[in-house]
Amino acid sequence: MVNRQRMVDLLQQMTLEEKIAQLLQLAAPFYDGADSDGVITGPMKELGITEETVRQAGSALGLAGAEKIKHIQQMHLKNNRLGIPLLFMADIIHGFKTIFPIPLAIGCSWDLELAEKSAEVAAKEAAVSGVHVTFAPMVDLVRDPRWGRVMESTGEDPYLNSMFARAFVRGFQGDDLTNDRHRVAACVKHFAAYGLAEGGRDYNTVDLSERQLREYYLPAYKAALDEGCEMVMTSFNTVDGIPATANSKLMRDLLRDEWGFDGVLISDWAAIKELIPHGVAANEEEAAYKAIQAGVDIEMMTSTYVHHMPELIASGKVDEALIDEAVLRVLQLKDKLGLFDNPLRGADPEAEREVVFCEEHRNISREMAAKSCVLLKNEEGLLPLQPSSRIALIGPFAKSSDILGNWSWTGVKDDAVRLDQALLAKVPDSLVAIAEGSGIEMMTEEHYSEALSAAEQADVIVLALGEHSDMSGEGGCRADIKLPQAQLELIARLKQLHKPIVAVLFNGRPLDLHGVYDQVDAVLEAWYPGSEGGAAIADILYGDVNPSGRLTMSFPYSVGQVPVYYNHFNTGRPHDPKDVDARYVSRYLDVPNAPLLPFGYGLSYTTFVYGELVLSDEIMTVDRPLRVEVTVTNTGELAGEEVVQLYVRDISGDVVRPLKELKDFAKVSLEPGESRKVTFTIMEEQLRYHHADLQFTSDPGEFVVFVGSNSRDVIECRFHFVR
Ligand code: GLC
């Protein structure tokens, strides 16, 4: 248990310099270079700090390895007057050494239990390697696939993102963070609304109404905190004209006062100093002033607090009490992690050798990868492949190990199971011809002639296409979200062979699939599937696993539609797609309004038929929730999993209301011919929304309930909610 008094007593022994240094977080180079007697080297001059400051720093980021962490911690404690241990933090976003599919893929599994398990495995591998805190889950709601960091989120729906946020926090932290040394503290990010960066461009402006912020962008952060998430990270972007890192309205009034969060708030990398280029701080002193006033506790990788806080306090501009409360939060987190009694916590070289990248973990990653893939097209049941088929595996990802995604940090690409290896493990070599066919962004005639000869004897062409992992992730924003031209050309040329073509996609965002979806017979979205990716894909291609993934982010018909998302408003002049001549309605002249593939979409190797929707009543009240029943039948030849989705529409509200809002879902496994009655209960709380005055309440009135296999193909019924 946290011993608050012990921490208060410790705080009172600290000098002002020691307190301020506790709020400094330094990256690995400050420690990686630690020589035998712990003399810390590193880019100190860049930050203009002394070795003494480094010795007093409160936390480090980007370090792992049981022996290394033990050494650094022991050196640190030797040099730290009061024996205050270092906190080790790192970006363990979807796996530590055993890499799971990217979070956008995990979201497509709609499997909360397995998502929690993936975080638990990541935490265990990180903890035995000496890490105490992970900078995850990232729960930014996303509607713009141009943004490179959509790969880190679980998609466009606030409810589903909230459920995954909770699952990840549970997996990372467990329910006894102090004593379970195989867990790590979680840090939810990026607070807030980073996913709305204008133009889908990293670090760019975010501007939205408080109502939109509360209705769509805040729920998942709140869910993470309600699940006990220990830390919050500020986002780079502005919110209502003020960078989040200096935004007292967001950080003090909402996060701390309204939500009651009393954990550690850390800036994103250099975000405090970046208040200067943002234009809300004239210099580092003002940046430090605004950040501490906003309640930012830890300064990541800049030194404005170290340089200017003493003067700000001496001059009375900053009350030392603000420093004390920040330092106390940091000390309490260290105490909660048990670091004062056991500064090495979970760091254990023996355990590290045993659990990191162990078979059990890799099997869980393989299961998650298979559940995260989404079958987007499958004309004439081309998939699953016949084991006797001769296939030509062609494309830049045919033999690529770049399948871990952009946030795989300590993951080792060469340890990943490639698609070619996995296919050759399943079928005789004689049935698999392999050729690159093109690079990611370039193609030579030699490439093509290799592809041609591989394809000539093939019954089926399996294309392995996609984006380089650096084409998404932080700093990986793209204005054109098609596959690179070289790959589109490869498809077009191979299509002239008139052989069936399957495209397997490795990408970190919804793509504009022009030149792919319309050209091939089957499309399997594999995202970056992680350490066991090739094996999971091969399992699906040959039918050992029936794909069950469903999109959690819309695939636009064209980037010109962006942002395009399912829970949009109707407008005063909605466009009926059947009315092709309508002009004065909300539409484009050149593309449809609807995305190519909607939220919740995904195919299976079997088929599911929905019976009629049965409501417990036409009237719902606060005391009489509405029960919704539907019978789903597997009408195909193979067992499969269906994600039964329940949406609601509020016909008329105090403000405009979305055409659909996901309120619940159930992932059901059905044998061939099996039927299952799926029951949902709609509670009054699920009808609440933020009114014009920001009151979060429900209104009596008419509603529509939809149930279906995605946000487009649904059956519906009306009901009334009365007080
Ligand atoms: C990066 C990212 C953030 C990450 C941090 C530490 O800039 O924005 O998500 O946790 O720095 O690496």
Q: For ligand 1, say whether the CB of 189 is within 6 Å of any of its atoms.
A: yes
DSSP summary character for residue 405: -
Which residue type occupies 535?
Answer: A
Residue 442: its pLDDT value, please?
96
Residue nearest to atom 8 of ligand 1 (CA): 268
Beta bridge mates, 642? 668
Q: For ligand 1, say whether the CB of 269 is within 6 Å of any of its atoms.
A: yes
CB burial readout 613-622, b (16+ within 10 A) else e: bebbeeebee
Beta bridge mates, 466? 506
Q: How far is the CA of 477 from the centre of ligand 1 (A)?
A: 16
Beta-carbon contacts of 124 under 8 Å, excluding residues fewer than 6 positions away, are 182, 183, 355
Beta bridge mates, 662? 647
Half-sphere exposure of 104 (CA within 13 A, CB side): 35
DSSP summary character for residue 673: T
Residue nearest to atom 10 of ligand 1 (CA): 135
Residue nearest to atom 12 of ligand 1 (CA): 91
Q: How far is the CA of 268 from the centre of ligand 1 (A)?
A: 6
Best of 25, 91, 151, 202 for a ligand 1 pocket test (most atoms within 8 Å of beta carbon): 91
Q: How far is the CA of 680 from the centre of ligand 1 (A)?
A: 39
Which atom number of ligand 1 is nearest to the Cα of residue 138?
A: 9
User: Under a CB-based contact definition with an 8 Å cutoff, are residues 184 and 132 in contact?
Assistant: yes
Rg (CA), the chain: 26
Q: For ligand 1, say whether the CB of 664 is within 6 Å of any of its atoms.
A: no
Separation between Cα atoms, residue 680 and residue 51, nearest integer Å: 60
The yes-or-no verdict on residue 465 having pLDDT over 70 is yes
Could you tell me how far CA 555 lies from the centroid of its own chain?
Answer: 17
Q: HEC states along 433-484? A: EEECCCCCCCCCHHHHHHHHHHHHCCCEEEEEEECCHHHCCCCCCCCCCECC
Q: For ligand 1, say whether the CB of 149 is within 6 Å of any of its atoms.
A: no
Candidates 268, 335, 402, 664; catalytic one = 268
Beta-carbon contacts of 571 under 8 Å, excluding residues fewer than 6 positions away, are 586
pLDDT band, residue 39 (cuts 50/70/90): very low
Asked whether the domain spanning 606-721 has the same topology as the one spanning 370-559, the reply is no
Best of 133, 139, 268, 409 for a ligand 1 pocket test (most atoms within 8 Å of beta carbon): 268
637: number of Cβ within 10 Å: 12
Half-sphere exposure of 606 (CA within 13 A, CB side): 23
Polymer length in residues for the chain = 723
Residue 41: its pLDDT value, please?
45
Minimal CA–CA distance to 516: which of 547, 507, 443?
A: 507
Q: How far is the CA of 309 from the centre of ligand 1 (A)?
A: 24
Whole-Å CA distances, 221 to 189, 363, 486: 7, 30, 40
| Percent of the chain clearing pLDDT 90 (strictly above) | 96
The yes-or-no verdict on residue 42 having pLDDT over 80 is no
DSSP summary character for residue 44: H
Average pLDDT on 257-274 reads 97
Residue 650: its pLDDT value, please?
98
Q: How far is the CA of 267 from the centre of ligand 1 (A)?
A: 9
Q: How far is the CA of 88 from the centre of ligand 1 (A)?
A: 14
Residue whose tokens read 């012990």:
6
274-324: pLDDT as tens digits? 999 999 999 999 999 999 999 999 999 999 999 999 999 999 999 999 999
Residue 48: its pLDDT value, please?
85
Q: Is 654 assigned a catalytic role?
A: no
Q: For ligand 1, say whether the CB of 152 is within 6 Å of any of its atoms.
A: no
DSSP summary character for residue 686: G
Domain 370-559: assigned CATH number: 3.40.50.1700
- Return the SS3 of 52: helix
Q: For ligand 1, say whether the CB of 194 is within 6 Å of any of its atoms.
A: no
Q: How far is the CA of 418 from the centre of ligand 1 (A)?
A: 28
Separation between Cα atoms, residue 170 and residue 554, nearest integer Å: 27
Separation between Cα atoms, residue 319 and residue 324, nearest integer Å: 9
Q: For ligand 1, say whether the CB of 474 is within 6 Å of any of its atoms.
A: yes
Q: How far apart are the first and last CA of the chain?
A: 45
Q: HEC states along 505-535? A: EECCCCCECCCCCCCCCEEEECCCCCCCHHH
> Which strands, in side-by-side order, build the sheet including 264-266?
264-266, 231-234, 185-191, 133-134, 87-90, 59-61, 24-27, 299-300
The yes-or-no verdict on residue 105 having pLDDT over 70 is yes
Which atom number of ligand 1 is nearest to the Cα of residue 152?
A: 9
Query: Worst-scoring range by mean pLDDT, 1-10, 201-210, 330-339?
Result: 1-10
Which atom number of ligand 1 is nearest to the Cα of residue 91?
A: 10
693-722: pLDDT as tens digits? 999 999 999 999 999 999 999 999 999 999
Q: For ligand 1, say whether the CB of 409 is within 6 Å of any of its atoms.
A: no
Q: Tell me the backbone φ, ψ of residue 76, rounded to 5 degrees.
A: -60, -45
Separation between Cα atoms, residue 306 and residue 47, nearest integer Å: 10
DSSP summary character for residue 298: B
Residue nearest to atom 11 of ligand 1 (CA): 269
Best of 26, 191, 474 for a ligand 1 pocket test (most atoms within 8 Å of beta carbon): 474
Q: How far is the CA of 307 from the centre of ligand 1 (A)?
A: 23
- Mean pLDDT estimate for the chain: 96
pLDDT band, residue 29 (cuts 50/70/90): confident
Separation between Cα atoms, residue 33 and residue 41, nearest integer Å: 5
The yes-or-no verdict on residue 56 having pLDDT over 60 is yes
Q: How far is the CA of 60 from the centre of ligand 1 (A)?
A: 13
Q: How far is the CA of 456 from the centre of ligand 1 (A)?
A: 47
- Return the SS3 of 494: helix
Q: For ligand 1, say whether the CB of 135 is within 6 Å of any of its atoms.
A: yes
Which atom number of ligand 1 is nearest to the Cα of residue 189?
A: 9
Q: Tell me the backbone φ, ψ of residue 675, rounded to 5 degrees.
A: -115, 150
Which atom number of ligand 1 is nearest to the Cα of residue 236?
A: 8
Which atom number of ligand 1 is nearest to the Cα of residue 190?
A: 9
User: Under a CB-based contact definition with an 8 Å cutoff, are residues 175 and 169 in contact?
Assistant: no
| Percent of the chain clearing pLDDT 70 (strictly above) | 98
- Would you identify the CATH topology of the domain 606-721? Immunoglobulin-like (2.60.40)
Best of 267, 269, 274, 406 for a ligand 1 pocket test (most atoms within 8 Å of beta carbon): 269
Residue 664: its pLDDT value, please?
98
Which atom number of ligand 1 is nearest to the Cα of residue 135?
A: 10
Beta bridge mates, 266? 233, 298
So where are the chain's domains?
Answer: 1-38+53-88+320-327+337-344, 370-559, 606-721
Best of 93, 135, 265 for a ligand 1 pocket test (most atoms within 8 Å of beta carbon): 135
Residue nearest to atom 7 of ligand 1 (CA): 269
Residue 435: its pLDDT value, please?
97
pTM: 0.97
Q: How far is the CA of 710 from the centre of ligand 1 (A)?
A: 33
pLDDT band, residue 45 (cuts 50/70/90): low
581-603: pLDDT as tens digits? 999 999 999 999 999 999 999 99
The yes-or-no verdict on residue 35 having pLDDT over 90 is no
Average pLDDT on 184-192 reads 98
Residue 1: its pLDDT value, please?
66
Separation between Cα atoms, residue 528 and residue 403, nearest integer Å: 5
Q: For ligand 1, say whether the CB of 91 is within 6 Å of any of its atoms.
A: yes
CB burial readout 57-69, b (16+ within 10 A) else e: bbbbbbbbbbebb
Residue nearest to atom 3 of ligand 1 (CA): 268
Half-sphere exposure of 316 (CA within 13 A, CB side): 0
Separation between Cα atoms, residue 436 and residue 37, nearest integer Å: 50
